[in-house]
Structure 1
Amino acid sequence: MENNKPFSWSQGALIALLGVGGCLSLGLMLPIFPSNLQTQSTQIIDIKDVSLQALTQERIEAIKSSMLTSWQKEAVAKGISDIPNSFQGATIMEAKLPPGEKVIALTFDDGPSPQNTPQVLEILKKNNIKGTFFVVGQMLQEHPGLGKRVVAEGHVIANHTWHHWYHYMNPQASAFEVDNTSNLIYKVTGVKTSLFRPPGGIKTNGPYNYAKNQKYASIMWSSDSVDYSRPSVSKLISNVMREARPGGIVLMHDGGGNRSHTVQALPQIISNFRKQGYRFVTIPELLELQDKQSQTVAANKK
């Protein structure tokens, strides 16, 4: 009998320890797997999986929202669409820079488009390029997430009217087209834009004159891809490169229709410019370069 006592005591202690351990494991698992306790009790649980499952969808969305707010504040703090005072109310076809200042600005109109804008953004990200997006108000209203993404990824967002109409508009309608778009850009992204592009480059139907009077810089272009007519990819590339020069502004579209040819051509356009020694800038950066150049010239004349 004496020989059996130590064995009996150890066995009891072992059972007790297992019982306590089981309760603790059960207590830890219940908050995470309340409905699958029975089926998962025999599985090995990776602590990384537990951490991921503990992050509910609400928390993930809250984190994303917080990050976006931070990006928006940073964009505003940097004055991402600010322009030098000398360009307020001006119309710009290109920047006047020395031939050796090989910079070019890529601009995209008529978005945001769920079919095209994400593809354009991915190409720009892959090539570490920042572009300028002239958005249509009603498209931004339909796809605010894409407008947020444009700003979050460091691009410039600008005004391309609310409806993209070509017909004549009285002063009240013109004010609606411009003001509502800028107000929505600010509401969605936190950016107050000073940049405007009239649809079709039309200066006689109302919005252009209204924007000019409101001190917007009206940004035109020096190199037209003519992608709205859906030329072949090779022709589209040729259209862009034919008129390219230092300080130039390239017109392309990420909205307003099928822009698959633009998406296909964009990587080659970027490659061609880089082979020629160009670097890419946003419209505000381009205007800043011209402003500095003008100040330098003025200082040298004194």
Structure 2
Amino acid sequence: MAKKSHQSASPYTGVVRRVVPVGEEKLVALTFDDGPWPDTVAVLEVLRQYGAKATFFWVGLHLQRRPEIAQQVVVEGHAIGNHTWSHRNTPMTPEEAGEEIERTAALIAHTTGLTTSLFRPPGGRLHNGLADYALQQGYTVVQWSVLGKDTEVLEAESIVENVLHNVQPGSIVLLHDGGGDRRKTVEALHTILPALQAQGYRFVTVPELLALNQAAIPKAPSH
């Protein structure tokens, strides 16, 4: 597949966890980590049902195994980001960090024809060498301001509560479509999406949110 220009080109280079939209417009960016995964298909179905766009941060090893799901994500108009090759979050040398990021970037381009300027370090860790390398290469390091905690042993209702009680205009919400059984996340989305729409929120990709920003707010909690 021919390589195209950046799908996720960003006007902001740095670390960001929330974006303040101009006029405090009710925008929210849903993000999903650790795919592509079999449950990604179910996530896409819910997003399609509510006309919502999201941003998916891919692990290279998972992308290698499920290229057809990745291609479906792109065809349906969602944004993509780099989430390293192996989801390693221990300290590493610049060479090791480069291998984790560049190998995934190359596979994204090969699989989808796209490149991305978005990067999310596993666990949100900013001081193990990955974020430094990504920033040097011009990536926007995307953290989050709302944590669904869907990797913990939670019922869907708790995931819903974690999101709905913390969303504000410009929030970046962290959920997961991969890395394990994500049926609870899918169940929670069936409540989260219509509830936020009823409050007047509109779902946008991270690049769309960054393009409309008044101020990018740095730092992020770890998970």
Query: d(CA) in 1 for partners of 2:82 and 2:158?
Result: 28
- Give the counterpart of 2:26 among 90, 96, 102: 102
What is the deviation of 1:166?
Answer: 1.7
Task: Please give the per-residue CA displacement for 1:238-295, whole angstroms capped at 9, x wherever unaligned.
Answer: 00112100011000000011111101000100011011110010000000001xx46x
Question: How do 1:137-148 and structure 2 match up within 5 A?
Answer: 137-148=60-71
1:157-179 per-position Cα deviation (integer Å, ceiling 9, x unaligned): 11000000121111111000000
1:193 aligns with 2:116: yes
Q: Which amino acid in structure 2 is aligned with residue 206 of structure 1?
A: G
Output the amino acid matched with 2:179.
Answer: G
In structure 2, the residue corresponding to 1:96 is in which secondary structure? strand
Tell me what 2:142 maps to: 219
Any idea what SS the aligned residue of 1:163 has? coil
Contact conserved, 1:98 with 1:246, CA < 8 A, in 2?
no
1:80 to 2:7 alignment:
yes
* Residue of structure 1 aligned with 2:167, choices 237, 244, 247: 244
CA shift for structure 1 position 99 = 5.8
Alignment partner, residue 219 of structure 2: none
Question: Among residues 55, 71, 82, which one is paired with 1:132 in the alignment?
Answer: 55
Aligned residues between the structures = 215
The alignment's C-alpha RMSD in Å is 1.5
User: Residue 88 of structure 2 contacts residue 122 of structure 2 at CA under 8 Å; is this kept in 1?
Assistant: yes
The separation in 2 between residues aligned to 1:230 and 1:214, in whole angstroms, is 36
Whether the aligned pair in 1 keeps the contact of 2:28 and 2:203 (CA below 8 Å) is: yes
TM-score by length of 1: 0.69
Question: d(CA) in 2 for partners of 1:166 and 1:83?
Answer: 24
Higher strand share: 2
8 A Cα contact 1:211 1:218, kept in partner: yes
Higher relative contact order (CA 8 A, sep 6+): 2
Alignment TM-score, normalising by the size of structure 2 = 0.92
Compare CA radii of gyration and give the structure with the larger one. 1
Q: Which letter does structure 2 place at the counterpart of 1:254?
A: D
Structure 1: distance between partners of 2:7 and 2:76: 12
Give 1:213 deviation, angstroms: 0.9
Letter in 1 for 2:8: S
Deviation at 1:230, TM superposition (A): 2.7
* 2:193 counterpart (264, 270, 274): 270
3-state SS of paired residue (1:256): coil
Higher helix proportion, which one? 1
1:288 aligns with 2:204: no
- Contact residue 22 and residue 212 of structure 2 kept, 8 A: no
How much has 1:126 moved relative to structure 2?
Answer: 1.4
Give 1:129 shift: 1.1
> Structure 1: which 5+ runs fail to align?
1-68, 295-302
Runs of 4+ in 1 over 4 A off after TM superposition: none
